[in-house]
Amino acid sequence: MAVLKVKDLKAYYMVSIYGIKRTVKAVDNVSLKVNENEIFGIAGESGCGKTTLVKVLSGMVKPPLTVLGGKIIYNFGDQNVDITSLQSEKLRKIRWEYVSYIPQGSMNVLNPVRRIRKTFRDFIGVHRKIKKENFETLVEEYLSVLGLPKEVLKAYPHQLSGGMRQRVTIALATILNPKVILADEPTTALDVVVQRGVIQLLKRIQREQKNAFVLVTHDMAVHVNLSNRIAIMYAGKIVEEAKTNDIFKNPLHPYTKYLIGSLPRIGDKSHRVSVPGAPPALSSPPSGCRFHPRCQYAKDICRKKSPTLVDVGDEHKVACFLNI
Ligand code: SF4
């Protein structure tokens, strides 16, 4: 069953530079569905709109970012809620308890002048009336389940290593057992050893709590490890979506082929080719298929018409005229 349905979502940055108004089409007509108990990955180059998408999904929309159309419907069991039409007070109630967010940098969540205990108290206190001794037991037990010593509660964020801070952030985002967890590049700033630990932690939490994850990262290796299905984003649009195994074995969109073809493989010394050229400016994206200036298969129709995302079977969808 779907816990999140996004339909025709448009979220643009309306900016003014030296008096000239520009519209940056960061999320342009995006539709997707996330099922219960699955990790849904979103991949793509920096600047493709994936971080904006996850911000909008968490209801963090502040000018110049503006939602211009579409729906974001969460299913919380007994109710369907379209968060694009919610007032900020109602959004606050949903956030953390039903939908939580793990941001790119742990310092974006942890207040540098508050001890970790105080931050946990602030988070939990908004949603649960809980006595002091019960709060201590709840937090200490949860930290110990995640393999964190209770001493972290006494620390200020700067006294912890980057990996430890990220684990604390993950603990904060998951302690109330939310139905949906939105994670934006949760492993990007970490070295590979710490990254592995954080990947295992996320896997374990999802397996035990059975929540749905939306995992945004440009790192395809992280997707192989974690995601059940992946959507590939390019220039504000989803260009391919499939089960993880299928997308790695049989990528259909030329952009996805480049992304997967450029990954290093142990023992394979052949030259890896990355995507030629640079991503377009989202304030003036190319006509037709937005990938056409970088695509070796581009034909006339690609410059004129934008391909729609079509189902080619077995939950594999692609937006490319080569596959229609
Ligand atoms: Fe290339 Fe055309 Fe497919 Fe776009 S629609 S990816 S330009 S072949």
Mean pLDDT of the chain: 90
Closest C-alpha among 129, 132, 123, 135 to residue 169: 123
pLDDT of res. 119: 92
Closest C-alpha among 168, 310, 315 to residue 230: 315
* 179 Cβ below 6 A of ligand 1: no
Whole-number Å distance, alpha carbon 56 to ligand 1 midpoint, is 28
* 258 Cβ below 6 A of ligand 1: no
Q: Is the predicted pLDDT of residue 257 greater than 70, yes or no?
A: yes
95 or 283, which is more confident? 283
| Cβ-contact 43, 50 below 8 angstroms | yes
pLDDT of res. 109: 77
* 291 Cβ below 6 A of ligand 1: yes
In order, the DSSP letters of 293-321 are GG-TT--HHHHH-PPP-EE-STT-EE--G
Q: Give the ligand 1 atom nearest the CA of 239.
A: 6
Q: What is the CA radius of gyration of the chain?
A: 21
Element (H, E) at 118: helix 116-127
Kindly report the backbone phi and psi dihedral angles of residue 62, in degrees, each rounded to the nearest multiple of 5, phi listed first.
-130, 145
> What are the tokens at 288?
């037709």
Reported as a single tens digit per residue, the pLDDT across 226-254 is 999 999 999 999 999 999 999 999 999 99
Q: For ligand 1, pick from 257, 292, 294 the residue to mutate: most ligand atoms within 8 Å of CB.
A: 292
Whole-number Å distance, alpha carbon 11 to ligand 1 midpoint, is 24
Kindly report the backbone phi and psi dihedral angles of residue 283, in degrees, each rounded to the nearest multiple of 5, phi listed first.
-80, -20
Kindly report the backbone phi and psi dihedral angles of residue 12, in degrees, each rounded to the nearest multiple of 5, phi listed first.
-115, 150
Reported as a single tens digit per residue, the pLDDT across 134-175 is 888 899 999 998 888 999 999 999 999 888 898 899 999 999
Reported as a single tens digit per residue, the pLDDT across 52-86 is 999 999 998 999 999 999 999 999 877 899 999 88
Q: Name the residue with the closest Cα to ligand 1, atom 5.
A: 320
| Cβ-contact 104, 184 below 8 angstroms | yes
DSSP 274: -
| Cβ-contact 205, 147 below 8 angstroms | no
Q: For ligand 1, pick from 299, 304, 310 the residue to mutate: most ligand atoms within 8 Å of CB.
A: 299
Q: Is the predicted pLDDT of residue 106 greater than 80, yes or no?
A: no
The gap from C-alpha 235 to its chain's centroid, in whole angstroms, comes to 16
CA distance 36 to 2: 6
* 15 Cβ below 6 A of ligand 1: no
Q: Give the ligand 1 atom nearest the CA of 323.
A: 3
When pLDDT is cut at 50, 70 and 90, the band that residue 182 belongs to is: very high
The amino acid present at 75, given as its one-letter code, is: N
In angstroms, what CA-CA distances link 178 with 51, 184, 226? 20, 16, 18
The amino acid present at 303, given as its one-letter code, is: R
Q: Is the predicted pLDDT of residue 290 greater than 80, yes or no?
A: yes
| Cβ-contact 81, 74 below 8 angstroms | yes
* 320 Cβ below 6 A of ligand 1: yes
Enter the pTM of the model: 0.92
Whole-number Å distance, alpha carbon 291 to ligand 1 midpoint, is 6
Closest C-alpha among 192, 168, 61 to residue 118: 168
Whole-number Å distance, alpha carbon 292 to ligand 1 midpoint, is 6
Q: Going by DSSP bridges, is the β-strand pair 99-102/310-311 parallel, antiparallel, or unpaired? A: unpaired
Edge-first strand listing for the sheet containing 80-82: 20-35, 2-17, 65-75, 80-82
The predicted model gives 296-320 an average pLDDT of 96
For the chain, percent helix, then strand, then coil, each to nearest 5?
Answer: 35, 25, 40
Q: Could you report how far apart the first and last alpha carbons of the chain are, in Å?
A: 29
When pLDDT is cut at 50, 70 and 90, the band that residue 266 belongs to is: low
* 251 Cβ below 6 A of ligand 1: no
Q: Which of 4-18, 87-101, 244-258 has the lowest mean pLDDT?
A: 87-101
| Cβ-contact 157, 116 below 8 angstroms | yes
